[in-house]
Structure 1
Amino acid sequence: MEIWRRNLYILMASQFLVMGAMSMIIPFLPLYLKDEMGVTDPEKTQLWAGLIFGINFLSAFVMAPIWGSLADKVGRKIMVLRSGFGMTIVIFLMGLATSPLQLLILRLLNGTVSGFIPASISLVATNTPKERTGYALGMLQSGAVSGSIMGPFIGGIMAEVVDYRTIFSLTALMIGLATLVVTFAVKEVSKPEPAQERAGFLAEGSHIFHRKPLPILFSVGFMLQFAMLAPMPQMSLFVDQLGAPGGYLAFFAGLVTAVTGSANMLASPRLGRLGDQFGSDRVLFFAMLGAAVSFVPHAMVTSVWQLLVLRFLLGLCMGGLLPSLHSLIRKNAPRGKESTAYGYSTSAVFLGHMLGPITGGFLAGWIGIRGLFLLTAGLLVAGAFWLRSGLRRSAASESRRASSGSRHVSRRVVNSS
């Protein structure tokens, strides 16, 4: 098997394990605070759960560009291992925490050392032939999404069988095993080139943001995550409003999320392959428009079954979003700075992950969740045309620069003659 294919399949399986392990914790986090740490006041439990959940993304948002820059200097595989073994230790310690403050500090530290997923994306993107990058990143997306679907389900079952602290130990074990597999089975062929002198972190960041297509792609990444997650905290309430069949509210609320993820998982490799054939920019543009069109009838549904069909269609469109975005970043990043570019992209996505649910919850109080669906659709349409116009302006600028350079060379040739 070709090395890039072997790397892809191993990292895909590893992402499944890591995302599954990480999301196993989410369903019982409030119960862990209540039963193991004695936080019995419901308001305090929700407050601590929100802080502990969100602080991980805050520290990851800050650290992602730093780890990306370091990956371009020392290698991408070592960043995968750093993150994997670091999270293994920190999550094991979470199972030993005795107070909400200790758990909060450990989640902050977990976000600081995290980065397994973006480091894997960077490793695959830089070690895969350019003509297969879209397909490879789509496969990675499938592995991560399938893990995030199965994780809460498995975590909920395990919480009924073993105590909460044991689940943290098992989560750490899964991440550790995935990292060990990467250690011995993944080979980094395309390694950072040695350089006598490298620019500092701020200079590298300035160089990235002056690369015209990249800031546009970062803003689109933020917009995608913001738009997709803004309605999510309200979905269970919406299912309740529609009337869950048989009164199984928790089941159908989970099914609404699972059916979207399942469609995403199925569509990602196929849309990635289409991106390799026809251009990732086209796939991303039409996937954003498709997602927007899917959101509009969300505001008009009258039953949970209608909502499930629309969430499946939305998931199919979502399969073309982040893999296409990552492929475009790989294409436009300066040579040798791919991981730095992915670091900034990851920060933008994490920022959308933090602000989307908060803003969506606030706006839902004013316009309701049906109005929020329409607002999300409008945001995706605006983002799609912002992407297209931005990339066209960038391409036109590059064409003018190349033409100017050609004229300059021709002038020098004539003068020398």
Structure 2
Amino acid sequence: MEPWKKNLGVLWIGQFLVMGGMTMIMPFMSLYLQSPRIGMTDPHEIATWSGVIFAGNFVTAFLFQPLWGKLSDKYGRKMMLLRSGFGMAIVMVLMGFATSPWHLLVLRMVNGTISGFNPAAVSLVSATTPKEKMGFAMGTLQSGGIAGTILGPFLGGLLADAVGYRPIFYLTGASLFAASMLAFFVVKERFNRAEAAAKPNVSVIAGFRQLSGVPQLTALFAVTFLLQFAMIGPNPLMPLYVQKLHGTDVNLAFWAGFVSSAAGITNMVAAPLLGKLSDRIGQERVLGISLVGAALLFIPQAFAGSVWQLLLFRLLQGCFLGGLIPSVNALVRRFTPDGMEGRAFSLNTSMLSLGNMVGPIVGGLVSGWTGIGGVFLISSLLFFVNALWVRQTLVSKRVMVKRE
């Protein structure tokens, strides 16, 4: 097997285990706070702490990802991959020993601080994959993370009933450790540390200014933020929306979970296919079409008359969402100056974390004024604006360059 294919296969498994492990704990976090060892009883206090603990990871991830990106450009992507994987494995095991909500909050913030498996994996794959296979590789890698994200909560719920809450943290830590060990022994990276050390030592702030001065990268970072903002924003409200459409409490939790994960299911299937298509017709074209398609499918979700309609629209939307992140990652690699790939992908991950933080907050505020339908419509508008931005900064300039 060619080295780039071997790296891609191992990192697909790593992405699946990492994202599955990270999301496995989320379904029962509020219940874990009520367990005898932590012992919280006030419903309002439990809800508040659950939200704060959930957000703590994304706050520190947003702040520290650029630093790890800088170090990956200096010391290698594989080293940052292993640092993140082994570090998160330790933190996850420690969460199983928590005795107060403060312990969980601090550990979640530490987890966000040392995280970075995803941008390191993306950067490593981009550095070892032939250019003509870049879209396919990025789409395949994304599908591993999405598969873990979809199955993680499901497995977490099953395991919580079977073995209790605390052992799940140990199992999650073990899965992260296994993914890191697999990468340690199998993943290969050609990285000239002497050559990297000889390059000017650019600070995190200076690197950010340099990357943000590339208009194509600015547009791509905006796509990442808006994608996460638009997808995460309605999620906390989805059970209420499903309840309104379903009209009964029978199987309500099942339908709410199914609808919430529907776009992820088709996204997982479509990502490698659209990534392969982008290698043939261009990532810019696939990105523009995917943005417009996703924007259009937000609109009928706002006016759905039944759960089946909402489910259908979200399944269709997932097909277009599958073309976004692979295209963005391939284009980020193309427009990033040599030697700054790690910073660029880490900054892109910071935008994803920012979307995770801002999306639920803004979604809750907007729904209070307009209802959840307004959240879908605003997301649609933002995607259309972003599609125009992408067309102006990527597609139009590419056509002009070809004419010249």
What TM-score bracket applies, with the shorter chain setting the length?
A: over 0.9
Q: Which of 196, 199, 204 is the aligned partner of 2:201?
A: 199
Question: Can you give the 5+ residue segments of structure 1 that lack an aligned partner in the other structure?
Answer: 404-417
Contact residue 70 and residue 342 of structure 2 kept, 8 A: yes
Q: Does 1:249 align with 2:255?
A: no
Q: Deviations over 1:330-376 (max 9, x none)?
A: 11000111111111111111111110111011100111111221221
Task: Please tell me the residue identity of whatever aligns with 1:334.
Answer: P
Task: Please tell me the residue identity of whatever aligns with 1:10.
Answer: V
Instruction: Kindly report the root-mean-square deviation, in angstroms, between the aligned alpha carbons of the 2 structures.
Output: 1.8
Q: Deviations over 1:273-311 (max 9, x none)?
A: 111111111111110110111111112211111111111
Contact residue 75 and residue 196 of structure 2 kept, 8 A: no
Q: Secondary structure at the match of 2:98?
A: coil
Provide the rounded CA distance (Å) in 1 between the counterparts of 2:262 and 2:247: 16
Match of residue 411 from structure 1: none
Match of residue 284 from structure 1: 287
Match of residue 175 from structure 2: 174
Provide the rounded CA distance (Å) in 2 between the counterparts of 1:331 and 1:196: 23
Say how many residue pairs are matched.
401
Match of residue 141 from structure 1: 142
Q: Secondary structure at the match of 2:196?
A: coil
> Percent identical across equivalent pairs?
48
Would you identify which runs of 4 or more consecutive aligned residues in structure 1 move more than 3 Å? Answer: 190-195, 392-400
Q: Does 1:380 align with 2:383?
A: yes
Q: Deviations over 1:56-90 (max 9, x none)?
A: 00000001111011101100011110000000111
Match of residue 50 from structure 2: 49
Provide the rounded CA distance (Å) in 1 between the counterparts of 2:247 and 2:17: 31
Contact residue 73 and residue 196 of structure 2 kept, 8 A: no
Q: Does 1:258 align with 2:261?
A: yes
Task: Please tell me the residue identity of whatever aligns with 1:337.
Answer: M
Provide the rounded CA distance (Å) in 2 between the counterparts of 1:311 and 1:128: 32
Match of residue 338 from structure 1: 341
**Scaled by the length of structure 2, what TM-score is found?**
0.95
Q: Which has the larger radius of gyration?
A: 1
**Scaled by the length of structure 1, what TM-score is found?**
0.93
Q: Secondary structure at the match of 2:99?
A: coil
* Distance change >3 Å, CA 244–CA 146, structure 1 → 2: farther
Contact residue 22 and residue 151 of structure 1 kept, 8 A: yes
CA drift of 1:210 comes to 2.1
Match of residue 270 from structure 1: 273
Q: Secondary structure at the match of 2:55?
A: helix
Task: Please tell me the residue identity of whatever aligns with 1:44.
Answer: E
Contact residue 283 and residue 331 of structure 2 kept, 8 A: yes
Task: Please tell me the residue identity of whatever aligns with 2:324.
Answer: L
Provide the rounded CA distance (Å) in 2 between the counterparts of 1:101 and 1:292: 40
* Distance change >3 Å, CA 394–CA 212, structure 1 → 2: farther
Q: Does 1:104 align with 2:108?
A: no
Q: Does 1:34 align with 2:37?
A: no
Match of residue 12 from structure 2: 12
CA drift of 1:165 comes to 1.1
